[in-house]
Amino acid sequence: MAIQEAQELLEGNGTLPAEADIASLLTRLEGIEARLEQLEESPAQDIENQLAMVVFSGELDKAIAAFIIATGAAAMGLEVSMFFTFWGLSLIKKQKQYADKNILEKGFTAMLPGGSQSLNLSQMNFFGAGSRIIRKLMKDHEVASLEELMAMAQEFGVRMVACDMSQELLGIKDEELLDGVEHGGVATFMGDAAQSKASLFI
């Protein structure tokens, strides 16, 4: 019967606590929704499954470390973005170009590596012998070469961004850079870093 049912529903067969009137339920709900909103708007909610890297160094050993971390993270399902700045731009060069450059820019072009193949080690380089030894060791131990790691990174969809400002300062032309490289500034990096689980400066 209706009355009986209503009573039972309201009282939950006698287990209903005294405070359980609907008005207090509504207040409780409002409190809950306010707390939810606060959580949803908290800075933590910007975090995504991402990794952001600044690649500042232009040395072979650090380049290998950067791309092993990048491909490893991408293989684990993280979205990875690499921001190449200053000497790090050497990693993503495919060639040297002297045309349309002033004397200073030609000097940088001559002195800086023309791509990943000509990077030096940060220590024990011995005029290139160290780099060759590390590359030979990687081959002997069946570790992917830097160039293979870079190709993997591109296949995995790792975002590779060249720093506009560094490119301008060092006089590096877009045609000198690998295909598929994006262009951006510090805001591009910080945008990625601010929603990343980890950020590294290499």
**Footprint on residues 144-163 left by its own copies (CB under 8 A):** none
Measured N-to-C along each axis, helices 60-75 and 146-155 cross at an angle, to the nearest 10 degrees, of 30
Considering beta carbons, is residue 87 or 181 the nearer one to its own copies?
87
Does residue 110 interact with its own copies by CB under 8 A? no
Among 94, 101, 106, 191, binds its own copies (CB under 8 A): 191
Does residue 90 interact with its own copies by CB under 8 A? no
Phi, then psi, of 31 in degrees rounded to 5: -60, -45
3-state helix, strand, coil in the chain (%, to 5): 55, 15, 30
Alpha-carbon span 174 to 154, nearest angstrom:
18
Among 62, 92, 119, 184, binds its own copies (CB under 8 A): 62
How many residues interact with its own copies (rule CB under 8 A)? 89
Phi, then psi, of 98 in degrees rounded to 5: -100, -20
Considering beta carbons, is residue 86 or 117 the nearer one to its own copies?
86
Q: How far is the CB of 179 from its own copies (least distance, A)?
A: 26
Does residue 179 interact with its own copies by CB under 8 A? no
The maximal CA–CA distance of the chain, rounded, in angstroms, is: 97
Write the binding mask 2 to 41 for its own copies: x where contact by CB under 8 A, - elsewhere: xxxxxxxxxxxx-xxx--xxxxxxx-xx--xx-xx--xx-
Among 96, 117, 143, 152, binds its own copies (CB under 8 A): 143
Among 98, 124, 174, 175, binds its own copies (CB under 8 A): 124
CA atoms within 13 Å, Cβ hemisphere of 116: 20
For tokens 């262009």, the residue is 183
SS3 state of residue 112: coil
**Nearest Cα to 89, choosing from 124, 48, 47, 59?**
59
Q: Which of these segments, 93-101, 116-124, 150-158, 172-180, binds its own copies (CB under 8 A)?
A: 116-124
Residue type, 121: L
Q: How far is the CB of 56 from its own copies (least distance, A)?
A: 6
Does residue 87 interact with its own copies by CB under 8 A? yes
